[in-house]
Amino acid sequence: QVHLQESGPGLVRPSETLSLTCSVSGGSLRTGSFYWTWVRQAPGKAPEWIGYTYYGGSTHNNPFLKNRLTISVDMSKNEFYLRLSPVTAADTAVYYCARGVEPAKLTAAHWGQGTLVTVSS
Amino acid sequence: QSVLTQPPSVSAAPGQKVTISCSGSSSNIGNDFVSWYQQLPGTAPKLLIYDNDQRPSGIPDRFSGSKSGTSATLGITGLQTGDEATYYCATWDSTIDSGLWVFGGGTKLTVL
């Protein structure tokens, strides 16, 4: 069973950079054409898709975040990453990483527990 | 404001059936598969339905999905108190730029 775990700072200052890591176990980023996705959820709001990395390390970002967002992957570490800069209070949310249910299906079947990121001075 | 419209809340008694709608357009639901998620407070969303009507392994057949045109529906039969949660639909939207994956605004289910 694939397991995902987010890690990163819980507090980020406005205008600075948010960096998160999703560590994957029980499955490999190298194999299968899975979508590995970042989703965030502001308090009391619906989930918001941030972007994904796909087979071979290609990525696709939410157009509304595009200029601030970088998603990358290190297959040797079986990790993928989110970098958002600069951040504002509107980026305060629980950040999740997830994997699709089947190869080539953009879904989120396996989720990390989520990590709360607060943007505040 | 999501491009996918869901009713804010629905309610039904234990043992009854409920449906949750998700309305979109030809740029999203009308052009791609829909998935549905259940979210209990303080937990990550859980995939219930994908590809409009497919259940992942472990999801009971009390949960069903359908799509017609630019709308999708989640059905839950034999309601249990444990089904009280917020439910979200999701699909790909190609309205802007290179497209993005979108979620509905969510429907809170109350089991009376």
Q: Is the pLDDT of residue A32 over 80?
A: no
What residues 93-112 of chain B have any CB closer than 8 A to a CB of chain A? 96-106
Q: Is the pLDDT of residue A24 over 80?
A: yes
pLDDT digits (tens, 9 = 90+) for A50-65: 999 997 788 999 999 9
Amino acid A4: pLDDT: 97
| B105 contacts in chain A (CB < 8 Å) | 46
Amino acid A105: pLDDT: 84
CA distance linking residue A100 with residue B56, whole number of Å: 11
CA distance linking residue A11 with residue B3, whole number of Å: 31
Query: How near does any CA of chain B get to the CA of A22, in Å?
Result: 15
Amino acid A39: pLDDT: 98
Q: Is the pLDDT of residue B104 over 90?
A: yes
**What is the residue whose two structure tokens read 């992942």?**
B56
Amino acid A55: pLDDT: 77
Q: Is the pLDDT of residue B92 over 80?
A: yes
Query: Mean pLDDT, chain B, as a whole number?
Result: 96
SS3 A103: coil
CB half-sphere exposure, A28, CA atoms < 13 A: 6
Query: Mean pLDDT, chain A, as a whole number?
Result: 94
pLDDT digits (tens, 9 = 90+) for A67-88: 899 999 999 999 999 999 999 9
Q: Token digits for B31?
A: 């052009």
Query: How near does any CA of chain B get to the CA of A74, in Å?
Result: 24
Mean per-residue pLDDT for B86-92? 98
The DSSP annotation for A30-76 comes to: TSS---EEEEEE-TTS--EEEEEEEGGGEEEE-TTTGGGEEEEEETT
Amino acid B42: pLDDT: 93
Amino acid B77: pLDDT: 98
> Is the distance from CB of A7 to CB of A20 less than 8 angstroms?
yes
| B50 contacts in chain A (CB < 8 Å) | 101, 105, 107, 109
Chain A: residue whose CA lies nearest to B56: A101
**Chain A residues with CB-CB distance to B under 8 A?**
37, 39, 46-49, 52, 60, 62-64, 66, 96, 98, 101, 105-109, 111-114
Mean per-residue pLDDT for A38-51? 97
**What is the residue whose two structure tokens read 């990390």?**
A112
Q: Is the pLDDT of residue A104 over 90?
A: no
Of A47, A63, A113, which is closest to B88 when you measure between CB atoms?
A: A47
Amino acid A31: pLDDT: 79
| B35 Cβ under 8 Å from any chain A Cβ | yes
CA distance linking residue A2 with residue A32, whole number of Å: 13
Amino acid A45: pLDDT: 96
Q: Provide the percentage of residues in chain B whose pLDDT is more than 90.
A: 94
pLDDT digits (tens, 9 = 90+) for B29-40: 999 999 999 999
Mean per-residue pLDDT for A100-115? 92
| A37 contacts in chain B (CB < 8 Å) | 101
| B92 contacts in chain A (CB < 8 Å) | 106
3-state secondary structure chain B: CCCCECCCEEEECCCCCEEEEEECCCCCHHHCCCEEEEECCCCCCEEEEECCCECCCCCCCCEEEEEECCEEEEEECCCCHHHCEEEEEEEEECCCCCCEEEECCCEEEEEC
| A66 contacts in chain B (CB < 8 Å) | 97
